[in-house]
Amino acid sequence: MTKPFIPEILRSKVSVFVELHRKSALLARQSDLLEKRNAELRAEMARRRMAEDEVKALNQHLERQLRELAEVNRELEAFSYSVSHDLRGPLSRMAGFSSALLEFHAGQLDAEGRVFLERIDKSARRMCDLVEDLLNFSRVTRAPMNEGKVDLSAMVRGIAAELSARDPGRNAGFAIADGLEAWGDAKLLETALRNLMENAWKFTRKRSSAHIEFGARELEAAGPVYFLRDDGAGFDMSDAGRLFSPFQRLHRDSDFEGTGIGLAMVDRIIRRHGGRIWAEGAVDSGAAFFFTLRREGAV
């Protein structure tokens, strides 16, 4: 005997089957999507591993290049020191003998011969000065650093006193701020300050009354910015980029003597102390040199 047909039960079963089919299809799509995402994730992880390997290889390559560059620089500095040292003796003898000829045998030379010999003497002495500056520049690079607290104000006062004693006829005033200290190698910082001070002294000598100032302004984040300012010959700001390059001179020898090494030496010393140096100036309106130094404990 067959059971009676009940439409409601059939509709209910059909609804269940339809819902199950819909959910099954949804799960299948989600499973496909999940598999696709997993594949993309695996591909991305593979790409990242490749990128990490490339970065590691690049870092190793850069480290090798840095080591090679450091070695080349050491060799160049050693070569420069050796050549400069070897040149100093012959040049000194050349200058000495030319001076002796001018002093003791000038009467045996005609006017033209004396002019030629004077030029030889002058050139030899200039080369001696240049070689000495090159040796000093090399020493600045090679010298080990012995860091501690340095009284910059006292250093500048001492240099100012030496300059005034060396040229007592000069009418020059110094304004030196009290209590300016820094962390660094005392000998190297003294060399840097001496070069800056002698520069200021040299380029203000044509002033009837010169003024040289040493001070600092405090910047909260970076620490103090030290400055040395004068009212001397100054320079054109378009030439500022050449100031700290070796052998670059902005003034003629007939106006101001020099070899072009001093400011390059200052720049090297400041950079060894984790700082930087820059300059501002104007022709016939003086120059100001600003520099920073690494704070105590900073790497």
- Structural domain includes residue 270: yes
- In this prediction, residues 37-66 reach a mean pLDDT of 87
Query: What local confidence, expressed as pLDDT, does residue 119 receive?
Result: 84
Let me know: does 185 contact 220? Beta carbons within 8 Å: no
What domain count does the chain have?
Answer: 2
Nearest partner of 277 among 265, 286, 289, judged by Cα: 289
279 beta partners:
289
Q: What is the pLDDT of residues 212-248, one digit of tens each?
A: 999 998 765 668 999 999 998 888 888 888 888 776 6
Tell me: do 54 and 11 sit in the same domain: yes
Decide which of 142, 176, 202 is a domain's last residue.
Answer: 142
pLDDT band at 297 (very low <50, low <70, confident <90, very high): low
Phi, psi for residue 289 in degrees, rounded to 5: -110, 130
In eight-state DSSP terms, residue 295 is P
- Structural domain includes residue 63: yes
Decide which of 88, 117, 142 is a domain's last residue.
Answer: 142
Higher per-residue confidence, 279 vs 75: 279
Q: How many CB atoms are closer than 10 A to CB 185?
A: 19
Decide which of 91, 116, 142 is a domain's last residue.
Answer: 142
Q: Is 265 left (phi over 0), alpha (psi -120 to 50) or beta?
A: alpha
Instruction: Name the token pair of 299.
Output: 């790497």
CATH of the domain at 44: 1.10.287.130
Domain range spanning residue 287? 148-291
260 burial class (0-12, 13-18, 19+ CB within 10 angstroms)? Answer: middle
Q: What is the pLDDT of residues 144-174, one digit of tens each?
A: 788 999 999 999 999 999 999 998 888 999 9
Tell me: do 95 and 154 sit in the same domain: no
Phi, psi for residue 220 in degrees, rounded to 5: -55, -45
Query: What local confidence, expressed as pLDDT, does residue 79 receive?
Result: 67
Q: What is the pLDDT of residues 185-215, one digit of tens each?
A: 998 999 999 999 999 999 898 888 999 999 9
The yes-or-no verdict on residue 109 having pLDDT over 60 is yes
pLDDT band at 16 (very low <50, low <70, confident <90, very high): confident
Tell me: do 222 and 275 sit in the same domain: yes
Q: DSSP letters along 54-119, please? A: HHHHHHHHHHHHHHHHHHHHHHHHHHHHHHHHHHHHHHHHHHHHHHHHHHHSGGGS-HHHHHHHHH
How much of the chain is helix, strand and coil, in % rounded to 5?
Answer: 60, 15, 25
Tell me: do 50 and 171 sit in the same domain: no
- Structural domain includes residue 68: yes
Q: DSSP letters along 23-39, please? A: HHHHHHHHHHHHHHHHH
Query: What local confidence, expressed as pLDDT, does residue 108 receive?
Result: 84
